[in-house]
Structures are given as structure tokens and as C-alpha cells.
Structure 1
């Protein structure tokens, strides 16, 4: 898996004519919110989402706030975003899901938060289940295959 946190941040939002929204203040705010998710600032991220920021806000690589929080090991932030409607299975532009990222990084508390939020271990490519098998994480393979 590649690190989904590298690269310039853009909201990927479109203006009324379908053109990219390039308002520097909007892009700066989005970059700040992505950083807050990366650093696990749960209360501030939750406040922004409560104020109207989309729970599924994604950067120019398709990495959502949940993906960034999951990849950096912040289960409380993940749970807060899922509680506010974020999609636990939304894959980035490389087909990676937050759950597969958490498996790759060895973040068991994040795995649990995502599963509690409805994440599907078979979603994405490679899926969390495939990632667990690839890295010999037999405990997670057993968890994901449990009926």
C-alpha cells in the first residue's frame, strides 16, 4: 500500500459549471481539516463536520478524512466521523479502503472502530482481508472471515 497522506491537498469539489473550485481560502481550510484528521484532533474535526463540512471530504487522491485518521492510528476520530455519516468503505483513487489501511499499519483499535462502524473487510483492492492475508495477520483473517 502507498501512503495515502502524501501529496497536495485539494477538495476535488466542482464549481457550478463543473470546473474545479480553486478558491484559495477553501483549499486552505480543506488542507487544515485534512491535517486535523491526520493528527487525530477529534473534537475539532467533529466540529467542522457538524458545521457543514462533508463527512466524506476527500483530497485530490481520493483520501477521505476517515482514511487519513485511520492510516495515522486515530480510532476516536474515525468513530466520530463514522457517527457523522462518513462512509467506512469509501476507497481512494488507488482502490484502498480505510480498513485495509488500518490493517496495513497494524492499527487494531482503528480496525475495531471501522468494523463497529460497518466497514466491509472485502471492500477495496486489495481488500482488508487480502491485506491481512498478505501480511500474515492471522488474527485479523480469522476476525474478517468470522460468520
Structure 2
């Protein structure tokens, strides 16, 4: 579980129980779209906090359709192109789930439609989302 200032797992071992519990709450907040997550990041939680599957809090917020949280994390410097351990990006996840507002926020935040595997462009083509293809070409 990534918990140091860089968002990476510390080289010297596992996080403390308290830190692991806090990180777990952050991932739950990301899935739930809890806007208080933004305040935690402003207070020092790494904006690219990553779980054991390589999912960042941005990825989880995007996949679960929380555009407001996604936009807030982008404003705070979240890496919009950071893939998880399966090489999936937040944009591809949002396209797959048809979260229009999240797709728009990620594109506006500079997400690369050709990053990851499958790419967001591939997902849009696979699901016949011509509207997304037009947006991804901008």
C-alpha cells in the first residue's frame, strides 16, 4: 500500500497499522465519491496514493463515476495517465463505465486517450461510443 509522500510503498517494509487504516479509508472515500477526500489530500495525503492493485485514488474515483472528486484531484496534481497494475488508466475506466462527466474532466485535465491497455480510444471503439471518440480526438 503506497503511503509515503511520493505515493509509493516505503522500501523499508509495511506501513504501520494506523497508516494502513487511514489509507484504507481514503480508498473507500474515493470509491464513494466523498468530497472530504480532497481535504485529506490538501492536508498531506499523497494525491497519487496507490493501493495494492496499483489503483490510485483518482482511478477509483473515476471508475465509480465521481466527477467532482476527479476534478478536485486533478487540480491538486493527480497523475491522470497513471495506469494500475493491469495497465488500465482512469480515462479508459471511465469510458468503460460510461461516466460522461468523468471522461470530460479527465480529458480536460490532459489524460492521454492512447495510454494504457486497452486504451480509452480502444474502449470507446469497442463499445460504439462515437461521442467519446470525438471528445478523445480534441
TM-score by length of 2: 0.92
1:14/1:107 CA distance change after superposition, 3 Å: closer
Tell me the C-alpha RMSD between the 2 structures.
1.2
Match of 1:11 among 2, 15, 36: 2
Q: Secondary structure at the match of 2:44?
A: coil
The number of residue pairs the alignment matches comes to: 134
Residues 105-126 of structure 1: CA deviation (Å, up to 9, x unaligned): 0000000011111111111111
Note the residue ranges of structure 1 that are not aligned, 5 or more in a row. Answer: 1-9
Match of 2:38 in 1: 46
Match of 2:62 in 1: 70
Cα deviation for residue 140 of structure 1 reads 0.9
Runs of 4 or more above 3 Å deviation: 12-15
Match of 2:106 among 97, 114, 119: 114
Map residues 24-63 of structure 1 onto 2, 5 A cutoff. Answer: 24-42=17-35, 44-63=36-55
Match of 2:83 among 91, 100, 113: 91
Q: Is the 8 A contact 2:107 2:136 kept in 1?
A: no
Q: Is the 8 A contact 2:80 2:106 kept in 1?
A: yes
Note the residue ranges of structure 2 that are not aligned, 5 or more in a row. Answer: none
Distance in structure 1 (CA, Å) of the matches to 2:107 and 2:137: 13
Q: Is the 8 A contact 2:31 2:64 kept in 1?
A: yes
Q: Secondary structure at the match of 1:113?
A: helix
Distance in structure 2 (CA, Å) of the matches to 1:32 and 1:64: 13
Distance in structure 1 (CA, Å) of the matches to 2:23 and 2:13: 14
